[in-house]
């Protein structure tokens, strides 16, 4: 999982600077200036750099692991459904998918993008739909099995199986049977730093305790084609 909080924070910092310059210009009856143009350009280049670095890091890691196919979820309609313009503009999904496809051609990996209907509510552990499965931010709990899984990982597993002809329930049962007691609850997490780019971070002690409180048996990492 790539946490975008620090990238978004830097993006917002540029946005505030842009807003201040715009207010000064407005007081003088102006709308454009060289300083304003440079700020817009710096913000755009910073975001593109962070997104490109993320995609490159993911694809090169997959290349090393021998992955040949990646399924990418495209959250179509997210702007209409959520209305958070800052977040929607920040996560330029079309651009990210475009970069996935471009880098995949370079590395010889096939990339397929699919929609994300109900992937956040479907349970990858049992195959049922749980409207209230997301009990906490970042945590999805299956009421049938009593096990929990990282919510983003749960959605990614569902995205992985969208192209299949099997029904949602059958997919979940196959996943549960093929992968033992469950899936990895706390996936690998990366966070952006201005000096080193995307770096792996350890889960906080609170996150570890929260996972242990829900799951009493060790989880295993899912294998096979990767979904994002």
Give the pLDDT score at 203: 63
Question: What pLDDT is attached to residue 165?
Answer: 39
Residue 9: pLDDT above 50? Answer: yes
Average pLDDT, rounded, for the chain: 76
Token pair for 211: 């996972």
Question: How far from each other are the two terminal CA atoms of the chain, in whole angstroms?
Answer: 9
Instruction: Please give the structure tokens belonging to residue 152.
Output: 């983003």
Q: Taking the CA atoms of the chain, what radius of gyration do you get in angstroms?
A: 20
Torsion angle of C-alpha atoms 16, 17, 19, 24, degrees rounded to 10: 150
Length of the chain: 228
How is residue 204 annotated by DSSP? P
How would you class 56 by CB atoms within 10 Å of its CB: exposed for 0-12, middle for 13-18, buried for 19 or more? middle
Strand order in the sheet with 226-227: 110-115, 69-74, 226-227
**133, 140 contact by CB (below 8 A):** yes
Q: How confident is the model at residue 86 (pLDDT cuts 50, 70, 90)?
A: low
- 148: number of Cβ within 10 Å: 25
pLDDT of residue 108: 94
> What band does 213 get if pLDDT is binned at 50, 70 and 90?
very low
The answer, yes or no, to whether residue 223 has pLDDT greater than 60, is no
Residue written as token pair 């699919």:
114
Cβ 195 vs Cβ 160: under 8 Å: no
Distant-in-sequence, close-in-space partners of 11: CB < 8 Å, separation ≥ 6 = 43, 46, 47, 90
pLDDT at 55 over 90: yes
| Position with higher pLDDT, 41 vs 142 | 41
Complete DSSP assignment for 104-144: HHHHT-EEEEEE-TTTTTB-TTTS-B-TT-EEETTEEE-TT
Average pLDDT over residues 68-91: 64
pLDDT over threshold 60, residue 52: yes
Q: What is the pLDDT of residue 227?
A: 46
User: What pLDDT was estimated at residue 51?
Assistant: 94
């Amino acid at each position: 999982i790539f946490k975008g909080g620090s990238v978004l924070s830097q993006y917002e910092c540029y946005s505030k600077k842009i807003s201040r310059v715009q207010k000064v210009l407005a007081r003088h009856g102006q709308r454009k200036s060289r300083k304003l143009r440079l700020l817009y350009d710096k913000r755009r280049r910073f975001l593109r750099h962070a997104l490109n670095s993320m995609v490159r890091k993911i694809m090169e890691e997959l290349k090393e692991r021998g992955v040949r196919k990646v399924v990418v979820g495209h959250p179509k309609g997210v702007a209409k459904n959520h209305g958070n313009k800052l977040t929607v503009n920040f996560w330029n999904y079309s651009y990210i998918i475009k970069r996935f496809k471009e880098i995949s051609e370079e590395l010889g990996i096939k990339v397929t993008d699919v929609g994300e209907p109900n992937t956040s509510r479907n349970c990858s552990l049992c195959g049922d739909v749980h409207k209230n499965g997301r009990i906490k931010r970042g945590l999805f709990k299956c009421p049938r099995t009593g096990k929990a899984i990282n919510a983003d990982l749960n959605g990614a597993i569902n995205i992985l199986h969208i192209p299949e002809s099997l029904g949602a329930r059958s997919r979940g049962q196959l996943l549960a049977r093929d992968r033992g007691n469950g899936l990895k609850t706390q996936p690998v997490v990366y966070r952006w730093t201005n000096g080193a780019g995307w770096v792996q971070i350890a889960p906080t002690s609170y996150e570890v305790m929260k996972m242990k409180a829900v799951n009493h048996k060790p989880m295993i990492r899912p294998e096979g084609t990767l979904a994002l």
